[in-house]
Amino acid sequence: MNQDKVLSSLSLCKKAGLLACGEFQVEEAVKSGKGHLVILAEDAGPRVKKDVTDMCNYYEVDVREYGSRDSLGRAAGKEYLSQVCVTDEKFSESITQKMEVSYGKNENS
């Protein structure tokens, strides 16, 4: 059920124009400093995971794995997506908290 809350929040971000979807938009958001949280699908390919993780580490953007390509895609109104980037700080904090609850973590980052 918490996963539904995360995906619902991503859907709301998309409707508000605060979600970058796909490789090129995510890269642009991160490199321009607009990205606050990058979410990778758990079933994304190893090359995609490495490339995105390296980029996010370099630009000091939080990156997490969550959901499947299908579920991320549905949340963003697409067929499937391996990566999305939240471009609003408050939304990214809210989504991060929901992800931690979903995974049973109570960490304050």
Domain membership of residue 102 (yes or no) is: no
Domain membership of residue 73 (yes or no) is: yes
pLDDT at residue 23 is higher than 80: yes
Beta bridge partners of 20: 85
CB contact at 8 A, 74 and 8: no
Domain membership of residue 106 (yes or no) is: no
Domain membership of residue 32 (yes or no) is: yes
Domain membership of residue 109 (yes or no) is: no
- Whole-model pTM? 0.89
- How high is the pLDDT of residue 17? 94
User: What CATH number is associated with residue 75?
Assistant: 3.30.1330.30
| Residue-averaged pLDDT of the chain | 90
Domain membership of residue 6 (yes or no) is: yes
pLDDT at residue 29 is higher than 90: yes
Distances (CA, A) of 77 to 16, 44, 68, 107: 13, 18, 14, 31
pLDDT at residue 107 is higher than 70: no
Per-residue pLDDT averaged across 60-84, rounded?
A: 94
Alpha helices (H) along the chain: 2-15, 23-31, 46-58, 69-75, 89-102
Percent of the chain with pLDDT over 90: 85
pLDDT tens for 40-70 read 999 999 999 999 999 999 999 999 999 999 9
User: What is the domain range of residue 76?
Assistant: 2-97
Provide the domain count of the chain: 1
Per-residue pLDDT averaged across 78-82, rounded?
A: 92
